[in-house]
Structure 1
Amino acid sequence: MNATETADVLTPGSAVTVRLVKHPRPDVRYPATVVADDGTHAVVRAPWAGSASRDFGFVTFEQGDLFTEHYWRDRWYSVKEVRAADGALKGWYCDIARPAVVDGASASLTVADLDLDLWLSADRATVLRLDEDEFLDSGLDARDPAAARQARSALDELEELARRDAFGPLLNHASPEAF
């Protein structure tokens, strides 16, 4: 079954389980609510899935934060708009990952994280490439050179979009106040 067939399109308002494959670390799974899915671009909303606050130095994720997460079946990244409990925009956290796999029958959305990330602050003044050392240590270059090239290309694309302030068109299902 391909991505555009009905069984693989998630229904807005329905529950979905997001699974982030973090090999060799344990996978992360959490419940989310489907906002939209056009067969290529799926958008879900979920509260911060961590059990405690996590301070990254440039942002802290904490209980009450709300993530609007954008996944594509044909792109090597996901983009997560992060808002505080009071609705204030914190920024966008982007994961470089293999294209999303949606299983409508089991109401699941799975992405394989490739250990590269990008952060764009709410004021758009800070663009940070993250975890490049983890990516190198992952051995992806040796195991799957084509995937490693896709990952680097995806990170470059996201950074270019962030620096041009072009996330708005990319995230066409996001709330209008985000742009």
Structure 2
Amino acid sequence: MSANSADRARQVDVVLLKRGRTKIRYAAELLSDDGTRIAVRAAWAGDGVRDFGFVRFEAGDVFTEYYWRDRWYAVKEVRDASGALKGWYCDITRPATLSGAELIVEDLDLDLWRSADGTDVLRLDEDEFEESGLTTTDPEAAAAAVAALDELEVLATVEGGLESLLA
């Protein structure tokens, strides 16, 4: 069996940290790890339905999630139970680490949503980011986070831009 097919069958726990605490932990299937980018697939791990107004995450939704060891974001392709694309939810994070069976990611509050049809590109949680105090406690990380959000926003507004990250 090749290393790639062994990776496909491997399960990992995605551990999302926020300000040093575990925000959520969920099981995912490791799809690939090329040393820089890690891809996993997981079912919606939240309790019940999460209605943001612009999208609903609910039981049956499937997230194919892409994390980088050298980038300050994660991109999550979201599909409903029938496989229809809902859009992409992007988290601004510190670069990811894979340690044993744990994929560890630190959420930096900023997010971006792009609808499947590309008509909605929304910067999210900028108020939470400001309230976090990161600009004072870790100005370099704050600058990297804002730059990552700006980069994703540009990619989200160009046809095929986010998809090119995932190919």
- The TM-score bracket by the shorter chain reads over 0.9
Equivalent of residue 117 in structure 1, options 111, 131, 146: 111
Matched, 1:74 2:42: no
1:162 paired residue number: 156
Q: Which residues in structure 2 correspond to 1:30-179 (within 5 Å)?
A: 30-103=26-99, 106-165=100-159, 166-172=161-167
Equivalent-residue separation in structure 1 for 2:114 and 2:51 (angstroms): 16
1:19 paired residue number: 15
In the superposition, the TM-score normalised over structure 1's length comes to 0.87
* Root-mean-square deviation (Å): 1.4
Measured against aligned partners, the alpha-carbon deviations of 1:65-123 in whole angstroms (never above 9, x if no partner) come to 000000000000000000000111000000000000111xx311001000000000000
Equivalent-residue separation in structure 2 for 1:11 and 1:87 (angstroms): 23
In the superposition, the TM-score normalised over structure 2's length comes to 0.93
How many residues are aligned here?
162
Shift of 1:140: 0.1
Q: Which amino acid aligns with 1:89?
A: L
Identity percentage over the alignment? Answer: 60
Higher strand share: 2
Equivalent-residue separation in structure 2 for 1:164 and 1:87 (angstroms): 23
Measured against aligned partners, the alpha-carbon deviations of 1:113-149 in whole angstroms (never above 9, x if no partner) come to 0000000000011100000000000000000000000
Equivalent-residue separation in structure 2 for 1:153 and 1:13 (angstroms): 35
CA contact (8 A) 1:53 1:62 kept: yes
Which runs of 5 or more structure 1 residues have no equivalent in the other structure? Answer: 1-5, 173-179
Which runs of 5 or more structure 2 residues have no equivalent in the other structure? Answer: none
